[in-house]
Amino acid sequence: METVSCPHCGFAKEMPAGTVPNGARVKCPRCKETFIFTRTADRGTPPAAVTAARESAAVVPPLSAPSEPRRPAQPRTLRFTFTGTAKEYFGIWIVNTLLKIVTLGVYSAWAKVRKRRYFYGNTLLDGSPFDYLADPKALFRGWLIGVLAFLVYTAGTRYTPGISKILGSIFFLTVPWLVVRSRLFNNRNSSYRSLRFAFRDDYQEAYVIFAGLAFLVPFTLGLIFPYLIYRQKKFLVERSSFGRTPFTFTATGKDYYVLFLKAAGWLVLLLVVVMPAAFYVISTLAEGGALLAGGDLHRTQMMVGALMIFTLPFLYFFIVVYVQTALANLTWNSTGIAGSSFVSRMRVRDMAWLYLSNAVAIMGSLGLMIPWASVRLARYRFETLSVEGIADMEAFRAGFQGDVSATGEEIGDIFGIDVAL
C-alpha cells in the first residue's frame, strides 16, 4: 500500500501500490484542486510492489524533462487591465434589467452573477483574468431571506411605529455578522489562476469594530470616525488571503486622521474664505451694475444669493470625491501580499470628471448609458492600479475552504451595506 496525499488541503488516502502512476495528474476529492503525484519509497511496501509501481510509472511519459535548478524569479511590476466594452456589457445589462422587472426581482441573483462574471473575466492581472464562481441558486436563497427581512422591517416601522426602534436595533446588531458572511462568500467565490481567495472570520472583532466603534461615533461628536474607517479597512484586508497567503496592511490610524483633516481643511477654506470672497465680489459687481442700469438692487442680490446656493452642492461634491479617492488610494497603497505592494494612482480631478460626465450621460439617456459609465469607471480604476515587487505567482498555495451560504451577501446587498475596500 502507498499513501496519496493532497499538497493543497492535506487530504490523504491509502491506495494499492502502483495504482496511481508516478507523474500522473490527480484531482483531490475534498478541495477539488489538481496536483502532480510523485512517488516516494515506502519502507513498508513489498519489493515486488515497489518494482511493479516503478515499471507502471515508467510507461507514463514525464510532464517535463529534467532541468537545471530553478533560479529565483526577479521582482517585477504587474499591471491590471480591463478589457470590457460598453457594447458587450450593454447586452448583459439590458437583459438583466428587463428580467428583474418581469420577475419582480427574482432574477436578481442570476443578474448579479452574470454581471460579476463579466467584470471579473475582463479584469486581467499579468494577462490572466479573474473568475467569479458563485452559484446563482445560493444567491437566490439568500435573496429570499433578505427580501423577507426587508418586508418585516418595512411593515414593522410603518404599521407598528412603536417597534421600529427595536427592529432598527436588531438590524444594527446584525451588521457585523452580515459583513463577515458577505466577505466570506465573495472571497470564497473569487479566484485568479484557479486559486481562490479566502477570508478568516472573526465575529468578535467584527462586533467590536462595526458595532462597538460605530456606536461611539455620535458620543464623540464624530471624532472617532477616521479611526473607525481605519479599523474597518484593516479588518477587511488583514483577514483576507490569496490561497494560503494573507494580505498585509501597513497604514495607521494617524494616516486616516490626516486624510480627514485635509478634507476638513478644504471644506473650511471653501466655506470661510472662497465662498464669502466670491459672494462679496459678485454682489459688489451686481450692485454697481444694478445702480447704473436703474434696476432693482434687491432682486439682483436675490439672484446672486441663489447662484451661490446653487454652487454649494458642487463644492460638496468635490469634497466627497476627494475623500473617496484619497481613501481608495490610501487603502490600496497600504495593502501588500508576499512582500509585494499594491499601488493606486487615481487622481481627484479625473474621478470628479468621470462622475460628472457619467451623471450627465446617464440622465441625458434616461439611464441607457449606465453600462458605458460602469465600464468607463472600471477601466480607469484598474488602469491606475498595479502590484509592485511580486516575484513568483506560482508560489501561492491553495487552502481548503468549505461552502459558505450567500445569506449575508444578499441581505447586506438589499439593505445597502458596503463591504468593499
Q: Which domain holds residue 34?
A: 2-58
State which of 58, 80, 98 marks the end of a domain: 58
Choosing from 39, 58, 77, the residue where a domain stops is 58
Whether residue 376 lies inside any domain: the answer is no
**Closest among 153, 197, 202, 212 to 177, alpha carbons compared:** 202
Q: Which of 19, 39, 58 is the last residue of a domain?
A: 58
Q: Distance between CA atoms of 243 and 366, rounded to whole angstroms?
A: 43
Q: How many CB atoms lie within 10 A of CB 402?
A: 8
Claim to verify: residue 42 and residue 140 sit in the same structural domain: no
- Please report whether residue 16 resides in a domain: yes
pTM over 0.75: no
Q: Is residue 350 part of a domain?
A: no
With cut-offs at 50, 70 and 90, classify the pLDDT of residue 59.
very low
Are the beta carbons of 37 and 22 closer than 8 angstroms?
Answer: yes
Task: Provide the percentage of residues in the chain whose pLDDT is more than 90.
Answer: 43
Residue 130 has pLDDT above 90, yes or no: yes
* Nearest Cα to Cα of residue 44 among 7, 102, 3, 89: 3
Identify whether the C-beta of residue 400 lies closer than 8 Å to the C-beta of residue 31.
Answer: yes
Cα–Cα distance between 311 and 51 in angstroms, integer?
Answer: 85
Residue 80 scores a pLDDT above 90? yes
pLDDT confidence of residue 61: 44
- Decide if 210 is inside a domain: yes
The pLDDT mean for the chain works out to 79
pLDDT, tens digit, 9 for 90 and up, residues 5-54: 776 666 677 666 766 776 666 777 766 666 676 665 444 444 444 344 44
Could you list the beta-strand ranges (E) of 18-155: 25-27, 34-36, 76-82, 123-125, 128-132
The conformational region for residue 385 under phi > 0 = left, psi -120 to 50 = alpha, else beta, is beta
Domain count, the chain: 2
Domain presence at residue 33: yes
With H, G, I as helix, E, B as strand and everything else as coil, classify residue 224. Answer: coil
DSSP state of 208: I
**13, 4 Cβ separation under 8 angstroms:** yes
Q: Angle at which helices 253-268 and 225-238 pack, to 10 degrees?
A: 140
Domain for residue 152, yes or no?
yes
- Residue 85: CB atoms within 10 Å: 13
Are 145 and 235 part of one and the same domain?
Answer: yes
| 172 within a domain of the structure (yes/no) | yes
